[in-house]
Structure 1
Amino acid sequence: MMLTTATIQLLPLTTEHYPAVSAIYAEGIATGQATFATDVPAWAEWDASHLPHSRVVALSEAGQVAGWAALTPVSGRCVYRGVAEVSVYVGAAHRGRGVGQRLLAQLVAESEQHGIWTLQAGIMRLNAASLRLHEQAGFRLVGVRERLGQLQGQWHDVCLLERRSRVVG
């Protein structure tokens, strides 16, 4: 059966999901467009680096993890407690079917329930699909950080996008 947004179920991301989540993250790393990371962290490291709330997996009708989304704090300073960075990853077999849209919409809703007033995303300029996804979810382009990071010897520009909550703040 083809996965559609009507057949996916969104659930909190737990330790049990992490093997599939890490496999999807590895697919993102392999594209060379999704992240500057070159290795998938172990669960303990991933868990410690992400906020304890607003962690979502998309499950197919067969119970397969199709994608995931989570938030990372942008700073430890108390004045930025309501600002978080978004991560959204969709498995290669499930891309282009609205999974990312559902995940990002759920992440926005959950972030607002936890007092997050600004979501930001740093997306490589060449990742057109991710830029489109975030813009459709109400993110706006703040600017482009030119030659911000190097991956496999090649410099990449990173687009900084943000979404200000209409509910919080």
Structure 2
Amino acid sequence: MDVTVREMEPGDWGAVSRIYQEGIDTGTATFQPEVPAFSEWDRSHLPVCRLVAVVSGMVIGFAVLMPVSSRAVYAGVAEVSIYITKTCAGNGAGTILLHALIVESERQGIWMLQSGILSGNAASVRLHEKCGFRLVGYREKVGCDRHGTWRDVIFFERRSRVVAWENPAEK
């Protein structure tokens, strides 16, 4: 499969929202019960590091970042959200996309990426481990899924070897 990665464009929302819905439907990708309107989705994600994976002109996945906090000291820390359409899962597209997100996040000065993965999502765990993330812990029964089951979230992080953290108080 010949996967290319590019910046997300406004016209990609239809494909991105369909792929996100596929993730919601699995029950192992997110606690989100439905795809939000674009305006809500847009506000909750960083304006940089919005990437899509494309095969033969079709968007097959996306990776974006969310801020972990509004506090200045966490400006270089972001949470990863990555989804691949089920028809392309397991073909290496996720690895290509996550590597591209890592490179772009470092270019943007982000020094640490975090991922919260619902327990039972073995494919996402493998992907993050393959891309240099390490397990740092979990939160037990932190959220209730759409079926009423309380689920654990496993936390992974990847610290940049390229970007040095700068103390905003020292500027």
Distance across 2 between alignment mates of 1:108 and 1:23: 24
- Matched with 2:160 is 165
Identity of aligned residues (%): 54
Distance across 1 between alignment mates of 2:134 and 2:4: 28
- The partner residue of 1:53 within 40, 48, 54 is 48
- Matched with 1:72 is 66
Secondary structure at the residue paired with 2:41?
helix
- The partner residue of 1:39 within 23, 34, 38 is 34
Aligned AA (1:154)? T
Aligned AA (1:64)? M
Deviation at 1:164, TM superposition (A): 0.3
1:15–1:43: 8 Å Cα contact kept in structure 2? no
- Matched with 1:8 is 3
Length, aligned pairs only = 163
Aligned AA (2:16)? V
- Matched with 1:134 is 128
Aligned AA (1:44)? S
Distance across 2 between alignment mates of 1:133 and 1:9: 18
- Could you list the per-position Cα deviations for residues 75-120 of structure 1 after superposition, in whole angstroms to 9, with x for gaps in the alignment? 0000000000000000011101001001100000000001100000
Aligned AA (1:97)? N
- Matched with 2:93 is 99
TM-score (norm 2): 0.94
Aligned AA (1:118)? M
TM-score (norm 1): 0.95
- Could you list the per-position Cα deviations for residues 28-49 of structure 1 after superposition, in whole angstroms to 9, with x for gaps in the alignment? 0000000000110111111111
- Matched with 2:167 is none
- Listed as ranges, the gaps of 5+ residues in structure 1 are none
- Matched with 1:18 is 13
Deviation at 1:52, TM superposition (A): 0.7
- Listed as ranges, the gaps of 5+ residues in structure 2 are 165-171
- Matched with 1:86 is 80
Residues 1:113 and 2:107 are matched in the alignment: yes
- Moved runs in structure 1, 4+ residues, more than 3 A? none
Aligned AA (1:55)? R
